[in-house]
Amino acid sequence: MLHLEKYLSVTAIKPGTYAYWYRQQLSLQLPSTSDENIDWDNWQQFGKAEQQAFLQQQRAVDPQTARLALEKDFAEAPAALRQMYVETLAIGLNPADQAFLESLDKDRSGKVVEIAQRLLARFPDSEAAKQNRENLAERLETQFLTRKIGLAKQKGKKASESLEELSALTEFMPVTDIAAVLKLAPADLPRKIDQELALPFARSAALAQDYPLVFALLQKEDEKMLLSRLQLILTWFEPAPLSDKLQLAETAAAWLAGADNLNTLQLLALAEWLAQPLTEKAGKTLLSGKAFKNARSQSGGENPYQAGSAMEALAACALLLPKSLHEAYLNQVQGIAFRGGANPLDYLAFVDSLK
């Protein structure tokens, strides 16, 4: 239950139960009618995570208003917030942002200066952009066996170190610049590059809000690796239209379903990010996957810790399902033969709340 404690804040149901947590999650999925809705009058009164989500949304809708709001009290903000503020400018970056970014060259935080310089490099005519393109070209080469474009070997460095440096170099580089360096159209990147370049290039495509290209690049990568980066990938799609978010959710459901075990934190991250149930297609994928089957088996196992973790994951899984699949979910879990040490009472009470 440790992973679920932050969701326990409703009354009328006994605190500390899955049903209690589940009802709270359902309430979070509904449009808020509270006076505490975040807006430009009160956004600085919220925590960093809430501010970040709000600013990302606003940059996607009205970049100039968002930048002007950041400029107003930027100098007085702590370093961690200033860094986050500059990072949000990557969304909807446009020439009107350039003067503000240039003014940060003497910011008291080296990280803020670094991020500002990377963003300035996204303006094609800037000296920083030219230097970055030259640097990227030196780091890539056509592989002899595969004829794909991959990392060039760097003397004295491991491949993982070279990839980390390339990832930092391309963090805010427009995907159009990457394609230009390789003398390709952006749409040709997925079939021309090695797998190791797919994730950093997908991030650049996401910054450009070219979500079809993001999906095409992610298809090149190993699903286990993508699942380990799920929470990061979700942030790329914060400004995306709902249709693209639902497509990512369906893709993520397939990753989750194919894993050896359900991961409660990943399920909760997806539920919070999507803020609504999965489509029926994605829900069926989750229910029919190996991970769900293994969680059912582990819930009835002899190991109390493993059984408790599996029940927690099953409960988190139910949160993502549309009501049309509750019956199918119940049919799959009702036959679990719980052992005495697994303490299933809270989970069984939660299951009752779905009926």
75/96 Cα distance (integer angstroms)? 19
pLDDT for res 18: 57
DSSP 4: G
The DSSP bridge partners found for residue 142 are 149
Q: Per residue in 234-279, pLDDT tens? A: 999 988 999 999 999 999 999 999 999 999 999 999 999 999 999 9
Helix locations, 30-62, DSSP H: 48-61
Contact between 101 and 120 (Cβ < 8 Å): yes
Q: What is the value of pTM for the model shown?
A: 0.75
Q: What percent of the chain has pLDDT over 70?
A: 85
Q: Per residue in 37-93, pLDDT tens? A: 899 999 998 889 899 999 999 998 999 999 999 999 899 999 999 999 999 999 889
Burial degree of 323 (CB within 10 A; 0-12, 13-18, 19+)? exposed
pLDDT for res 9: 35
Other Cβ atoms closer than 10 A to 59: 23
pLDDT for res 34: 46
Contact between 302 and 339 (Cβ < 8 Å): yes
Burial degree of 204 (CB within 10 A; 0-12, 13-18, 19+)? buried
* Mean pLDDT for all residues in the chain: 86
Query: How is the chain split into domains, by residue range?
Result: 1-30+224-355, 37-120, 124-221
Ranges under pLDDT 50 in the chain: 1-16, 30-34, 341
Tell me the residue type at 216: A
